Chains A and B, each alone.
Chain A
Amino acid sequence: MSDLSNATPAPLGGAASGTPAVEMDGIVKTFGPVTANAGATLSVGAGEIHALVGENGAGKSTLMRVLGGGFAPDAGTVRVLGRDVTGWSTQDAIRAGVGIVHQHFMLVPTLTVAENVVLGSEPRRGLQLDGRRALDEVRALSERSGLRVPADRTVAELSVGEAQRVEILKTLYRGARILVLDEPTAVLSPPEVEELWTVLRRMRGEGATIVIITHKLDEVMAISDRITVMRHGRTVERLATADTTPTEIARAMVGRDVVLPSFTSDAVKAAGEGALQVRDLTVRDARGVTVVDSVSFDVAPGEILGIAGVEGNGQTELLEALAGLRAAVGGVVRIDGRDVGGTSVRRRADAGLSHIPEDRHRRGLILDYSVADNLVLGQQHHFARRGVMDRAAVARNAAEKVAAFDIRPPSAALPARALSGGNQQKIVIAREMGRDFRVLLAAQPTRGVDVGAIEFIHGQLREARAAGKAVLLVSADLQEVLALADRVAVMYGGRFVAVLPRAAASEEVLGRYMTGAQPRNDA
């Protein structure tokens, strides 16, 4: 790694070959009543790519924050290259060459890429920050590592893929030789994931040790050498990737057999007019650029229409316009034949529209509100009597949904912030699908969610279809689209460039359209 970095990390004692890069033993970490790690162990050999997997809330992120100095463990020991570093600080960890790319971006949006990268280890010229050198160094590092980023632009202008690369550059700049990536692929498109693999393999080739957390088992199979499986805060299995299968990993994670996503055609062949009808919908963004370009389609009752596409091709704006969160400049939207164009989110909800937004933190939840309150957001008027919230009804609703959707920990009084990402997502799903609706907009419904929960959410979506609901599914995960959709539309540059029946859609075909091949309409 040292040739990728320019800072010289402090020497770490005799790293005799064979000494594991990371050894964590009996790690316990609690947050009040919640035990995140209950004696977890992790051993990562030097120079390997190690996958850390487990259900939502299993304690993976917490364990990695302990490694990176973000939390001191309540009990247990942490060794890095043989040295006992238990309870060290973030600075110690950085200096020793441990770099963490956190699950949620840790970037300052108003600063430039270069500023974000050098923050905390700034090159100086006298008393001043040497901005010129920072730019040059970041450009050079970007060049050498193959992580292409625009060094002089502000982070707010970057795509998620670029932001992800900046996160990795930050660790390389500090000379990281042990790199932890917490769900780096959750926001990446398939080609970006491939690029990331190339970079990681190259880093491994140069002697770096990498720990990667992901919920996608095909990624585990593709990139890792060894696997550690966590469940309920403990380490339950250690596997060599070459000797295992996705089914076996999934079983270890969940503690039972899991049906991995695959297409089952239980579609009620729906006829008649669409429950959701969209005609010539056009949306412009704040700068006046057309981001949804006169899109028309129907979703019939009992049908799942999947939208595939590289992120940033108008899917977000399309769904926001349908949900009433964003004004359309033209076109018609009908729910069950009723024109809802120009009406509020609440009107649309009352007309039978449910919406699982893609960014649960921004749109789906109020993180400081309790789970119970989040479960009635947007429907609060149905839980009020004479203008006053009926707390008993809210509590009853919460108890029902927490049980029905297996939200963990099952305590509705906790703020949503205290739940793991996957369980936060279940709150949104429970609220939007646990009520009477006709049309469901589901954007990235399983992003950052574990295999058990994916199985559950997919089950819910199929049930909705069987119950005659119309479902519009947007997902960056092609396998998800292929597993659920009856028809697949591909969005590119704000238009539907293809609408294919499931039988005609395959990853190869969709992949081709996603990059902007000729328009075609078979459906």
Chain B
Amino acid sequence: MSVIALLAQVLRIAVPYLFAAGGGVLAERSGIVSLGLEGFMLSGAFCAAVGDYYSGSAWVGLLCGILGGLLFGLLHAVATIRYRADQVVVGIAINLLVIGLTRFFLRLAFDSSSNSPRIAGFEGGGPLSGWLAGAGPMIPLGLLVIPAVAWLVYRTPFGLRLRAVGEHPAAADSLGVPVARVRYVAVALSGALAAMGGVYLALDQHQFTDQMTAGRGYIALAAIIFGRWNPLRAGVACLLFAGAETLQIQMQGTQAIPSQFVSMIPYLLTIVALAGVVGRANPPAALGKAE
């Protein structure tokens, strides 16, 4: 296998992580724990499949997926911001809810318990079409998400407010910064961005399958923590995790290391990061607090 093919594979695996981690960083920096990324992704994948199936257009699928994620992002926001529900509980509830809902509608719409019918994907893949066939705009978009989020967080007035709200909401409030509104925007955006990761999966595989995100939302969260809540570092972590996964796939024939160990890498690295081995992990001070 050529180096380019390997890199292309890393990229294809990384793209869903990049979307979800980019979104998750926004929510977490605003002080809202992002355990619902998995659910946002899955909702995006399903809505994309539905939209794509009925319209025959991947673009419509993309749009539907984004809207689906936005919806669940808003649900998360209302529960945690308006009603101050425990953020961890809400995140897990969203993940379970989306699994249940997608199964229900899978049966209702496509009369199947496992997968949707085949859907259209994007055409072509630009200059790298040989390796990235069918990804359409998703790979460039995925590569853009992290720099765009970094720009938003560090270079714009909204980003400054976001960071302030996540660190010291009372201080932001005392300056007239609308704390709740900033958080709503951040969490809704995180839903939409994470959903795009799910959209990519569905379009890439030309169908929706039950629980097709398979824990990718959690890996994205691990990347955020490993990246110490810095979007650029989180992006690097996504690529690192995707690299490890590629390695695992490549080594599947050989018996050198059991593949389960390679699957553990993201989580192990995250624990190492949390233990402060690669510099101190300083989560946003108001992360997870109701007030």
Which stretch in A47-55, A115-123, A384-392 binds the other chain? Answer: A115-123
A102 on the B face (CB < 8 A): yes
Q: Contact partner of B175 among A90, A110, A124, CB < 8 A?
A: A90
0 or 1 for each of A77-116: is its CB under 8 Å from B? (1 = yes): 0000000000001110010000010100111111100011
Nearest CB in chain A to that of B165: its residue = A108
Q: Contact partner of B172 among A105, A108, A121, CB < 8 A?
A: A108
Cα–Cα distance between A89 and B178 once the two chains are bound (Å): 11
Nearest CB in chain A to that of B170: its residue = A106
A70 on the B face (CB < 8 A): yes
User: Within the complex, what minimum Cβ distance (angstroms) separates A166 from chain B?
Assistant: 11
| Known contacts A108-B164, A119-B177, A120-B161, A129 near B156 by CB under 8 Å | yes
Q: A122 touching B176 by the CB < 8 A rule?
A: no
| Known contacts A108-B167, A111-B167, A128-B155, A102 near B174 by CB under 8 Å | yes
Count chain A CB atoms within 10 A of each CB in B163, B168, B175, B282 and give the residue with the most: B175
Nearest CB in chain A to that of B172: its residue = A119
Count chain B CB atoms within 10 A of each CB in A70, A111, A124 and give the residue with the most: A111
Q: B163 touching A120 by the CB < 8 A rule?
A: no
Q: B176 touching A91 by the CB < 8 A rule?
A: yes
Cα–Cα distance between A306 and B106 once the two chains are bound (Å): 76
Residues of A contacting B168 in the complex (Cβ-Cβ under 8 angstroms): 106-109
Q: B167 touching A110 by the CB < 8 A rule?
A: yes
User: Within the complex, what minimum Cβ distance (angstroms) separates B159 from chain A?
Assistant: 7
B157 on the A face (CB < 8 A): yes
Residues of A contacting B163 in the complex (Cβ-Cβ under 8 angstroms): 108, 110-111
Residues of B contacting A89 in the complex (Cβ-Cβ under 8 angstroms): 176
Q: B174 touching A122 by the CB < 8 A rule?
A: no
User: Within the complex, what minimum Cβ distance (angstroms) separates A286 from chain B?
Assistant: 11
A127 on the B face (CB < 8 A): yes
Q: DSSP majority for the B interface? A: helix
User: Within the complex, what minimum Cβ distance (angstroms) separates A89 from chain B?
Assistant: 7
Cα–Cα distance between A128 and B177 once the two chains are bound (Å): 17
User: Within the complex, what minimum Cβ distance (angstroms) separates A489 from chain B?
Assistant: 36
User: Within the complex, what minimum Cβ distance (angstroms) separates B2 from chain A?
Assistant: 41
A447 on the B face (CB < 8 A): no
Q: DSSP majority for the A interface? A: loop
Nearest CB in chain B to that of A106: its residue = B171
User: Within the complex, what minimum Cβ distance (angstroms) separates B58 from chain A?
Assistant: 29
B173 on the A face (CB < 8 A): yes
| Known contacts A90-B175, A106-B171, A124 near B164 by CB under 8 Å | no
Cα–Cα distance between A102 and B175 once the two chains are bound (Å): 11
Residues of A contacting B155 in the complex (Cβ-Cβ under 8 angstroms): 128-129, 131
A401 on the B face (CB < 8 A): no
A170 on the B face (CB < 8 A): yes
Count chain B CB atoms within 10 A of each CB in A102, A122, A131, A170 and give the residue with the most: A122
User: Within the complex, what minimum Cβ distance (angstroms) separates B222 from chain A?
Assistant: 22
Which of under 10, 10 to 19, 20 to 34, or 35 or more describes the interface residues of B?
Answer: 20 to 34
Q: B160 touching A100 by the CB < 8 A rule?
A: no
Residues of A contacting B177 in the complex (Cβ-Cβ under 8 angstroms): 119-120
User: Within the complex, what minimum Cβ distance (angstroms) separates A372 from chain B?
Assistant: 23
User: Within the complex, what minimum Cβ distance (angstroms) separates A184 from chain B?
Assistant: 15
User: Within the complex, what minimum Cβ distance (angstroms) separates B156 from chain A?
Assistant: 6
Q: Contact partner of A111 among B164, B170, B282, CB < 8 A?
A: B164
Q: A111 touching B160 by the CB < 8 A rule?
A: yes
Q: B residues 146-188 with Cβ under 8 Å of A?
A: 155-157, 159-161, 163-164, 167-168, 170-177
Cα–Cα distance between A129 and B176 once the two chains are bound (Å): 18
Q: B160 touching A119 by the CB < 8 A rule?
A: yes
Nearest CB in chain A to that of B171: its residue = A106
Q: A170 touching B159 by the CB < 8 A rule?
A: no
0 or 1 for each of B73-111: is its CB under 8 Å from A? (1 = yes): 000000000000000000000000000000000000000
Q: B residues 115-163 with Cβ under 8 Å of A?
A: 155-157, 159-161, 163
Cα–Cα distance between A187 and B168 once the two chains are bound (Å): 20
| Known contacts A108-B163, A111-B167, A120 near B156 by CB under 8 Å | no
Q: B157 touching A90 by the CB < 8 A rule?
A: no
Residues of B contacting A118 in the complex (Cβ-Cβ under 8 angstroms): 160
Cα–Cα distance between A90 and B155 once the two chains are bound (Å): 25
| Known contacts A111-B167, A128-B155, A90 near B160 by CB under 8 Å | no
Count chain A CB atoms within 10 A of each CB in B164, B173, B282 and give the residue with the most: B164
Residues of B contacting A170 in the complex (Cβ-Cβ under 8 angstroms): 175
User: Within the complex, what minimum Cβ distance (angstroms) separates A498 from chain B?
Assistant: 39
Q: B175 touching A94 by the CB < 8 A rule?
A: yes
Residues of B contacting A116 in the complex (Cβ-Cβ under 8 angstroms): 171
User: Within the complex, what minimum Cβ distance (angstroms) separates B267 from chain A?
Assistant: 27
User: Within the complex, what minimum Cβ distance (angstroms) separates A391 from chain B?
Assistant: 26
User: Within the complex, what minimum Cβ distance (angstroms) separates A91 from chain B?
Assistant: 4
Residues of A contacting B160 in the complex (Cβ-Cβ under 8 angstroms): 111, 115, 118-119, 122, 129
Count chain B CB atoms within 10 A of each CB in A115, A119, A129 and give the residue with the most: A119
0 or 1 for each of A170-204: is its CB under 8 Å from B? (1 = yes): 10000000000000000000000000000000000
User: Within the complex, what minimum Cβ distance (angstroms) separates B174 from chain A?
Assistant: 5
In the assembled complex, 10 residue pairs joining A and B whose CB atoms fall closer than 8 Å, in A order, are: A90-B173, A91-B176, A106-B168, A106-B174, A107-B171, A109-B168, A110-B163, A116-B171, A128-B155, A129-B159
Chain A positions within 8 Å of B, measured between CB atoms, are 68, 70, 89-91, 94, 100, 102, 105-111, 115-116, 118-122, 124, 127-129, 131, 170
Chain B positions within 8 Å of A, measured between CB atoms, are 155-157, 159-161, 163-164, 167-168, 170-177, 282, 285
- Which 6 residue pairs spanning A and B have beta carbons closest together? A91-B176, A120-B175, A122-B157, A106-B171, A90-B176, A108-B168
Q: Can you name 16 extra interface pairs (CB under 8 A) apart from A105-B171, A120-B176, A131-B155?
A: A90-B173, A91-B176, A100-B174, A107-B168, A107-B171, A108-B167, A108-B171, A108-B172, A109-B168, A116-B171, A119-B175, A119-B177, A120-B175, A129-B157, A129-B159, A170-B175
